[in-house]
Amino acid sequence: MTEDDPLDDFERRHLTFDSTTKVVLVSGSGPAVIVMPEMPGISPHLARFARWVREAGFTVYLPSLFGRDGALPTVEDGTAVMQRACVSAEFRAFGANRSSPVTRWLRALAAAAHEQCGGPGVGAVGMCFTGNFALTMTLEASVLAPVLCQPSLPLDDPAGLEIAPEDLEAVRERLDRDDLTVLAYRFAGDKWCRAERFAAYASALGNRFVGTALPDSAANPTPPPFFADVVASPHSVVTAHLIDAAGEPTLTARDEILTFLAARLIPGR
């Protein structure tokens, strides 16, 4: 966790949807789970989480949406990646009630992954910048298990939701129709994903939204430099701020996510 990850155990695929080609790292077998990167990219900590998903019996898909794949998040590089993403046309970093255009590509990825891997459907785990994308992806019929980890957009409105009103209404109808649940996690003192955002989700989705706030004391006190100096608060529940030790709340959160995915995607589990 202290140096770049070569990601040699993942297959690099160039996949094209909606006339846009992106690199997707794929590994494992079983039903598909799309794990979207947090800012500033597919870090060693994010890859560790993806491997946990793989070891739980899934084919994990890691779309490369920003940053350098496998890089340890430094202050300088991470800040530059974040600044580019904030002005990218693919993302809606500012202003609530808008869906990021990249979610159309991600929904197409989910459909293709389901066709390739089979099973009842697909899981989607979003984190930080991509946190809410997992919710919007439920507009794709194959997505059955959405997980939102510290959803941070929009950056300028703590109570805002990064989804268009018509998309949110369609998502709520889908959750009710197919009896789906949205799992979500944040740290209590996270300044990027505050309590107001989870309250907004609960108001919009009712009991379909199951949100958990972990105490700040549960966060890893020595995360990589980008998280220590730029994020500067407990934030990444199952990656940079996870403490990999028995009994730790962050490890419990990881296990809850894996159990949730298995319950939806692996028959008989």
φ/ψ of 125, rounded to 5, equals -120, 115
**Residue 183: its pLDDT value, please?**
98
Give 161-175 pLDDT, tens digit per residue.
999 999 999 999 999
Tell whether 255 is covered by a domain: yes
Cα separation, 206 vs 201, whole angstroms: 8
> 225: closest CA among 245, 240, 243?
240
Given a contact cutoff of 8 angstroms between Cβ atoms, the answer to whether 57 and 30 are in contact is yes
Tell whether 2 is covered by a domain: no
Q: Is the pLDDT assigned to residue 261 strictly greater than 90?
A: yes
Give 77-99 pLDDT, tens digit per residue.
999 999 999 999 999 999 999 99
> 253: closest CA among 265, 240, 238?
238
Give 114-132 pLDDT, tens digit per residue.
999 999 999 999 999 999 9
**Residue 18: its pLDDT value, please?**
87
Tell whether 1 is covered by a domain: no
Between the two ends of the chain, the Cα-to-Cα distance in Å is 31
Q: Is the pLDDT assigned to residue 155 strictly greater than 90?
A: yes
CA pseudo-torsion sign 49, 54, 58, 60: positive
Tell whether 165 is covered by a domain: yes
Tell whether 5 is covered by a domain: no
Q: What domain range includes position 160?
A: 11-265
Domains: count for the chain: 1
User: CATH code at 114?
Assistant: 3.40.50.1820
Give 202-213 pLDDT, tens digit per residue.
999 999 999 999
Tell whether 145 is covered by a domain: yes
Nearby residues of 204 by Cβ (< 8 Å), 6 or more positions away: 161, 168, 172
Q: Is the pLDDT assigned to residue 269 strictly greater than 80?
A: no
Tell whether 173 is covered by a domain: yes
Tell whether 63 is covered by a domain: yes
Percent of the chain with pLDDT over 70: 100
